[in-house]
Structures are given as structure tokens and as C-alpha cells.
Amino acid sequence: MRRHRLVQLSLLATLTISTIGIPAPALADHKSTSSPRGDTVAPIDITHFQATNGKRRVSMRVEVADLKKRGAFQFSYVSPKLYYDGAVIKVRWKKGKFRATWAHRTEDRDYAEACAGMKVSWSLKDDFISVSAPQKCYTTNPVPASWDFGAFSWSGSDADYDVPDLRVPRG
């Protein structure tokens, strides 16, 4: 009898939870786009761009045709309302390894600042560069409901500016 009552209570709890709908944890929103292969020199030719806007982190990734140990890549996320309000992550190969900086973007210029928790990967094997930074690194204004994400690359006089920007709401 007691066991039968426990089974009934378990069923009742399951039905109640499924009826009222306990929300699942929010997932980060992300978008991606492609860029034509061959529109600039191979080591900096961005062929795919992806951006993720999570509650706590932003992440971006570019796939690059035949990535090498040269060139510079800039990843940005700016407010859709105030284009010159956001952040820039610059990644470049220098003196035998890649180096990355995080900067607050303003209308006048980019101000380099420390960003604890920033992560960067430069994969020659898989031809991609990825960056990730905590939302809390952006301290100027409240974090907007969405960011406009962008990426471009350059090496000497060559550049790849043709990667479309992505507007991604926070997940």
C-alpha cells in the first residue's frame, strides 16, 4: 500500500512539472556566415565566420583557407545602437607565437585593457582561429541585448574585409 502511494505521488509530480513547464536552461544564441574563398591571399582568407552570444561569454571563430603563422585577425562585438561602443580582440602571429589583446572600442579609438578569462586558439592543423571573452570584460555600459559581431584579417597590404557582420541576441 505504501509503495503504491509513492508511485502515485511520483506520477503526480511528473505530470505537474510537465504541465506547468519548468523552462530548460537558456542556450546561447549563435549565427554564422560564409565568405567567398579566394577573395584575398590564402593565409588570411576568411571562408567562414561564426559568433555566439551567451549570457556570460561571447565567442567567435573564423575558418581560414590554408592558415599559416602570419597575418592578423580582428574580432569585434559592438552595440547595434552605438556602433563605436563595444570591444575588439586582435590576434596576430608575432615572434614565434600568437598574441592577443582585448580593447574597449570607442568612437575615438580602441583602448587596450586586461580581460581576465579571455581564451584564444590558433589551429594550423584545422585552419581556424577562435576567441572567447567573458561579457563582464565589457564594463562601460550595461551589456546590450544583442551585439553586432564582425571579423576581418590583414597581412601587409592584403586584407579580407568582405566577411558579413552578424547581429546575435544574448542567449
Q: How far apart are CA 73 and CA 65, in angstroms?
A: 13
The mean of the pLDDT values for the chain is 84
CATH number of the domain that 77 lies in?
A: 2.60.40
Instruction: Write the CA distances from 144 to 139, 151, 163, 170, integer angstroms.
Output: 11, 19, 23, 8
Total structural domains within the chain: 1
18 part of a folded domain: no
Write out pLDDT tens, residues 92-151.
988 888 899 999 998 889 999 999 999 999 999 999 999 999 999 998 878 999 999 999
Full domain range(s) for residue 78: 26-169
Closest Cα partner for 168 from 23, 34, 54?
Answer: 54
0.75 exceeded by pTM: yes
Instruction: Write the CA distances from 106 to 84, 123, 131, integer angstroms.
Output: 5, 30, 20
14 part of a folded domain: no
